[in-house]
Structure 1
Amino acid sequence: MIYTGFVRRVDSLGRITIPSELRTLLNISARDAVEIFRIEDAFVLKKYSPCDIFTGEMDELIEFEGKKISKNSILKMAQIAGFTIV
């Protein structure tokens, strides 16, 4: 983990504010959905992206480097790169 130096208090409704510097760094805008994961005694927030980052497709998604990509996009990229798909 990377220490950010940010400390926030939980309000009476259980909410916290994500600092604008972190929202900018993670490309999180107002009204964006975030996923919440628990790892032992820590929470991890991640911008939620349920569809292909290139086409918006929602079928046959594969997660790579924290991003979702459809099999169709992978095949198209492989063709553009000159790979032969058997």
Structure 2
Amino acid sequence: MRTTGIVRKIDELGRIVIPSDIRRELGLGERDLVEIAVERDAIVIRRFEPACVFCGSREDLFEYRGKTVCRRCAQALCREAGNPVDADEA
């Protein structure tokens, strides 16, 4: 992790502003989603990448009732429910 030397205050609502040069460097737009994580003693803000709610995979995803699911887990759920499906149907 590199240090930028930029210091910001947290406002009364707990917000901080990510400087425009950093947003530009990372390709973050005005309404883009970011993920906030804690790693040891650091707060990490990174671009949000959707992942399967079951296995965490970031490949072959689709949304079902507002949840992100990968095809592999969808097929496993169908098998578990006694409804085997072929790969193109899930």
1:70 is aligned to 60
The SS at the match of 1:25 is helix
| Distance in 1 of aligned mates of 2:10 and 2:56 | 35
- Matching residue of 1:28: 28
Contact 1:61 1:69 in 2 (8 A): no
Identity %: 41
Q: TM-score normalised to the size of structure 1?
A: 0.58
Q: Deviations over 1:43-73 (max 9, x none)?
A: 111011227xxxxxxxx974xxxxx4439xx
The equivalent of 1:50 in structure 2 is 50
Contact 1:38 1:44 in 2 (8 A): yes
Question: Aligned pairs, how many?
Answer: 58
Cα distance in structure 2, aligned partners of 1:36 and 1:13:
16
What stretches of structure 1 move > 6 A for 4+ residues in a row? Answer: none
Stretches of structure 1 that go unaligned for 5 or more consecutive residues are 52-59, 63-67, 72-86
Where in structure 2 are there 5+ consecutive unaligned residues? Answer: 62-90
C-alpha RMSD over aligned residues: 2.1
So what's the TM-score if we normalise by structure 2?
Answer: 0.56
Which residues in structure 2 correspond to 1:1-40 (within 5 Å)? 1-40=1-40
